[in-house]
């Protein structure tokens, strides 16, 4: 029976009980599924060490020698076994803390010792090593690279540890070597110099040498990334065939706002608007991602795009994830439109009606908004999830702009999409710069525009990293800045004190700041406050009534206070790079020099210190995003889990496999360019494989 159809129950060394655990823990159902459980590391079993050569606690080693002596210490659960092992030249201690009764030792017997050395009191020892009499050592135990497999706690309790997984997969080798059908065409394999699937699966599990293992892993990574790109590019091609509202005109309202701006657009803003207008006038439905670092001018670009739609007779909306951000957008856009609307009343040119709809909008306020949407008199609606309500109906919705889209579920965005029989143009905006590899996967089916230039006159925020021992001088700096007329943010990772975490908390911090600065007024904002109270505190700070704002990360996005020049982040070690960068982006919005102070405890891990160093070294959000991807991996980055990939990754890693991803996208692009629907006989292999891999139950993938 083919490996793809053989139930794991009938694989050697499995059986019904183990099969059930493998199905539940790993989602493994067939023999071929088992072969796609790839090793996470390899250990070279061909080299033998001497005790004198030990110099690295991270390396597994094997040593041939004898047990000289052993004794047990303690009783019951606290019992441990200590043995002295010699390689004929030096001695080393072996220690077992568990299963002591099962460890059987003999003098005068040569053993193969295998394990990872650890250091205690400046001396190496081995804790729970593998100890095999040399008479029982088989050739495969000391040859080549030994694979190690990830297992769960439940698997280990059932005896399905890495060694058991290796034995099960080894039992499939005879059938595997007979060949499995390849999933990539020979023309692609030859062009990109990739192994065939059979050879790759053999060498990923039981490689004869390191180069073979590396080539096998490269092939399997290529395949995963290739199918993701094939699906995304096919999706993009299919979507580009969707009819869209045609918006060719650059009209009077666009020109009026453009002329009224107090400063010129940057070259990047102009380029992005041209790219978006090309989509709007094409007659095809737009799906575009707009990336721009904090303060790069995305909101103004969004407004100008709205006016392109309005001048062509269409309504637009901007959906934000929070009321604070929606209010901020509304006030910002209304301020931009005010000169235009004043001029309209004099010159009798058409004005622009803009409204705000959030959860706090009263029933009385909603009625004229609903009416204005239905009769077409409202041109631009800013809002939150309230825009998704069934009662919100449009006369002619032509453009939807979704800000910080990873904060919305796909089903929520689908409701907005379905407001029209013809889908509106969609512009997705994010202030979180996305590394190239993520942009090519998570957002790989969208056209991408990037604002990579800050408006002129912006002074880069100066960032410093201090330990909390510098509190006195930091307080002096705060007082100096406030006395100069500036305002200060202080951000905490927790709302209330937590006994298990040695962290500064917001409530204690607020009380301490009130005691330290009795002459200043202080606002406090956090996510557990009622929206009305939160907005009141925010407005007090925005208006300048309060000089300090104590907050959690609710201020991470959308708060715009040009007079605030200092961002202090307590326990900065608790935040990721992208979050630190977003918080820093709340300052540096005015003409004055701004500062970001990262406060941490003294003792930091190597990775945490790297994060602090990167923040101090650069204000470039794209560099920071790439560094964040390298340090944390794609699974932890904000937005990735929500947005998802078309298919799961088992071996490819978006933080390290950028070059393979580039090759995979190129290969997939060549195929889609020739055959967008994968209809040719030659390409049916790819369509069948995509159909097998597709895991989404609903066709949400059409929605940006």
- Contacts of residues 137-142 at CB distance under 8 Å and 24 or more positions apart, as own/partner, are 137/112, 141/45, 141/112, 142/45, 142/46, 142/48, 142/62, 142/112
Q: Domain 252-282+296-430: what homologous superfamily?
A: P-loop containing nucleotide triphosphate hydrolases (3.40.50.300)
Report which of residues 378 and 592 the model is more confident about.
378
pLDDT value, residue 418: 65
Residue 236: per-residue pLDDT: 84
Q: Looking at the predicted structure, is the pLDDT value of residue 423 above 70? A: yes
Q: Is the pLDDT of residue 89 over 60?
A: yes
Would you say the CATH fold of 462-618 matches that of 252-282+296-430? yes
pLDDT tens digit sequence for 552-563: 887 765 567 889
Between 671 and 654, the higher pLDDT residue = 671
pLDDT of residue 633 exceeding 70, the answer is no
Residue 500, pLDDT above cutoff 60: no
Looking at domain 60-137, its CATH class is mainly beta
Buried b (16+ CB within 10 A) or exposed e, 244-281: bbebeebbebbebbeeeeeeebbebbebbbebbbebbb
Q: Give the helix/strand (H/E) hosting 114.
A: strand 110-115
Say how far apart CA 316 and CA 286 lie, in whole Å: 14
- What CATH architecture applies to the domain 462-618? 3-Layer(aba) Sandwich (3.40)
Residue spans of the domains in the chain: they are 60-137, 252-282+296-430, 462-618
pTM, rounded to two decimals? 0.70
Name the average pLDDT for the chain: 86
474 class by beta-carbon count within 10 Å (0-12 exposed, 13-18 middle, 19+ buried): middle
pLDDT in tens, 517-535: 999 999 998 878 887 888 8
pLDDT tens per residue, range 246-273: 999 999 999 999 988 888 899 999 999 9
The DSSP symbol for 458 reads P
Segment 672-690, tens digit of pLDDT: 999 998 999 999 999 988 8
Give the lowest-confidence range in 294-298, 311-315, 496-500: 496-500
Q: Which residue has the higher pLDDT, 113 or 235?
A: 113
Pairing of strands 548-551, 287-292: unpaired
């Amino acid at each position: 029976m083919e490996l793809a159809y053989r139930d794991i129950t009938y694989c050697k060394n499995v059986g019904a009980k183990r099969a059930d655990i493998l199905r539940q823990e790993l989602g493994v159902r067939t023999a071929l599924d088992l072969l796609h459980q790839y090793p996470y590391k390899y250990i070279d079993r061909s080299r033998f060490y001497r005790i004198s050569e030990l110099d690295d606690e991270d390396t597994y080693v094997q040593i041939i020698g004898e047990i000289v002596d052993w004794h047990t210490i303690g009783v019951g659960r606290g019992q441990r076994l200590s043995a002295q092992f010699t390689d004929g030249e030096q001695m080393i201690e072996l220690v077992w803390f568990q299963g002591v009764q099962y460890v059987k030792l003999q003098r005068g017997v040569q053993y193969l010792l295998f394990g990872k050395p650890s250091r205690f009191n400046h001396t190496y020892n081995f804790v729970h090593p593998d100890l095999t009499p040399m008479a029982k050592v088989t050739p495969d135990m000391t040859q080549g690279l030994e694979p190690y497999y990830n297992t769960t706690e439940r698997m280990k309790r059932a005896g399905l540890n890495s060694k058991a997984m290796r034995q099960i997969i080894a039992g499939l080798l005879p059938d595997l070597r007979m060949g499995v059908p390849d999933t990539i065409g020979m023309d692609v394999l030859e062009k990109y110099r990739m192994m065939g699937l059979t050879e790759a699966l053999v060498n990923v599990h039981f490689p004869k040498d390191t180069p073979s293992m590396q080539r096998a892993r490269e092939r399997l990574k290529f395949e995963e990334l290739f199918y993701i790109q094939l699906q995304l590019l096919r999706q993009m091609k299919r979507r580009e065939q969707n009819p869209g509202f045609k918006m060719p005109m650059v009209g009077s309202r666009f020109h009026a706002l453009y002329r009224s701006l107090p400063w010129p657009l940057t070259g990047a803003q102009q380029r992005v608007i041209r790219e978006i207008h090309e989509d709007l006038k094409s007659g095809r439905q737009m799906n575009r991602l707009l990336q721009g670092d904090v303060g790069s001018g995305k909101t103004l670009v969004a407004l100008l795009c709205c006016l392109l739609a309005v001048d062509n007779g269409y309504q637009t909306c901007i959906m934000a994830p929070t009321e604070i951000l929606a209010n901020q957008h509304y006030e910002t856009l209304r301020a931009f439109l005010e000169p235009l609307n004043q001029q309209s009343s004099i010159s009798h040119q058409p004005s622009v009606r803009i409204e705000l709809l959030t959860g706090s909008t009263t029933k009385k306020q909603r009625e004229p908004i609903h009416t204005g949407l239905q009769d077409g008199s409202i041109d631009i609606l800013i809002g939150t999830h309230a825009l998704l309500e069934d009662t919100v109906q449009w006369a002619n919705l032509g453009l939807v702009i979704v800000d910080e889209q990873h904060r919305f579920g796909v089903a929520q965005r689908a409701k907005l999409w379905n407001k029209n029989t013809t889908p509106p143009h969609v512009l997705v905006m994010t202030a979180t710069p996305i590394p190239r590899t993520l942009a090519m996967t998570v957002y790989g089916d969208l056209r991408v525009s990037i604002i990579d230039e800050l408006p002129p006159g912006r002074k880069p925020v100066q960032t410093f990293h201090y330990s909390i021992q510098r509190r006195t001088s930091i307080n002096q700096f705060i007082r100096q800045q406030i006395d100069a007329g500036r305002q200060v943010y202080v951000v905490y990772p927790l709302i209330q004190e937590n006994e298990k975490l040695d962290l500064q908390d917001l409530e204690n911090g607020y009380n301490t700041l009130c005691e330290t600065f009795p002459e200043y007024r202080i606002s406090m904002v956090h996510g557990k406050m009622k929206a009305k109270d939160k907005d009141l505190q925010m407005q007090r700070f925005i208006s300048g009534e309060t000089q300090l704002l104590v907050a959690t990360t609710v201020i991470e996005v959308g708060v715009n206070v040009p007079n605030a020049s200092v961002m202090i982040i307590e326990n900065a070690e608790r935040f990721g790079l992208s979050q630190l960068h977003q918080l820093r982006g709340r300052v540096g919005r005015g003409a004055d020099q701004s500062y970001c102070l990262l406060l941490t405890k003294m003792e930091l891990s190597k990775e945490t210190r790297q994060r602090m160093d990167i923040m101090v070294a650069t204000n470039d959000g794209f560099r920071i995003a790439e560094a964040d991807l390298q340090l944390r991996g794609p699974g932890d980055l904000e937005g990735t889990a929500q947005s998802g990939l078309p298919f799961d990754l088992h071996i490819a890693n978006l933080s390290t496999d950028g070059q393979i991803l580039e090759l995979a996208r190129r290969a997939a692009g060549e195929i889609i360019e020739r055959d967008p629907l994968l209809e040719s006989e030659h390409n049916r292999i790819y369509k069948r494989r995509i159909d097998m891999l597709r895991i989404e139950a609903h066709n949400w993938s059409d929605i940006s």
